[in-house]
Amino acid sequence: MATRSKKTPKKQYYNIPGLFGIRVIVFQDENKLELRHMLGLPRDKFSRLVNVSVRAIAKVESNKEKVEKLQRNYIEVKRLCQALSEVVNPDCLGDWFYTPNEAFQSRKPVEVIEHGEIDRLWDMVYRLSSGIPG
């Protein structure tokens, strides 16, 4: 007797014209920015992380239209996530950004980013990857 295997839905990716390195993923009939999909964040939380409005994210995801302000912050957070993924479980990153952290005086990493201190997160990545305590 033959068994049927479940087919996993295929993911499709679309580049956003004029935005280098930013793709929209179509998965289970839903369009999401690739990084937002990877982090498993709703639009409102993701918008805080990349410092653009929820409306701007919706515009990019639904119309695949360029939103200038998204480029720099998106790429910076994407690179940070790639670096963090080398030292921690990438499946935890979405929650990690919204969990208070003693290393940042009990502030959430997203708040550190909002205050213009993303360099503190990069310093933490460096310390974790090189085995430096503290």
Is the model's pLDDT at 1 over the cut of 60? no
Instruction: Specify the higher pLDDT residue, 38 or 8.
Output: 38
Percentage of residues in the chain having pLDDT higher than 90: 63
- Reduce the secondary structure of 65-109 to three states and give it as a string: CCCCCHHHHHHHHHHHHHHHHCCCCHHHHHHHCCCCEHHHCCECH
Q: What is the arithmetic mean of pLDDT over 17-45?
A: 90
Question: Considering the domain boundaries, does residue 5 fall inside one?
Answer: no
Domain of 68, in residue numbers: 12-130
Name the band, by pLDDT with cuts 50, 70 and 90, for residue 40: very high
Name the band, by pLDDT with cuts 50, 70 and 90, for residue 85: very high
Question: Considering the domain boundaries, does residue 7 fall inside one?
Answer: no
Q: What is the arithmetic mean of pLDDT over 85-113?
A: 94
Question: Considering the domain boundaries, does residue 89 fall inside one?
Answer: yes
pLDDT of 6:
62
H or E element in which residue 14 lies = strand 12-15
Sign of CA dihedral 130, 94, 33, 58: negative
- Which long-range contacts does 116-119 make (Cβ < 8 Å, 24+ apart)? 118/76, 118/80
Question: Considering the domain boundaries, does residue 2 fall inside one?
Answer: no
Q: What is the arithmetic mean of pLDDT over 87-93?
A: 92
- Average pLDDT value for the chain: 89
Question: Considering the domain boundaries, does residue 6 fall inside one?
Answer: no
In the chain, how many domains are there?
Answer: 1
Question: Considering the domain boundaries, does residue 78 fall inside one?
Answer: yes
Is the model's pLDDT at 2 over the cut of 70? no
Question: Considering the domain boundaries, does residue 79 fall inside one?
Answer: yes
Question: Considering the domain boundaries, does residue 3 fall inside one?
Answer: no
Percentage of residues in the chain having pLDDT higher than 70: 93
Name the band, by pLDDT with cuts 50, 70 and 90, for residue 78: very high
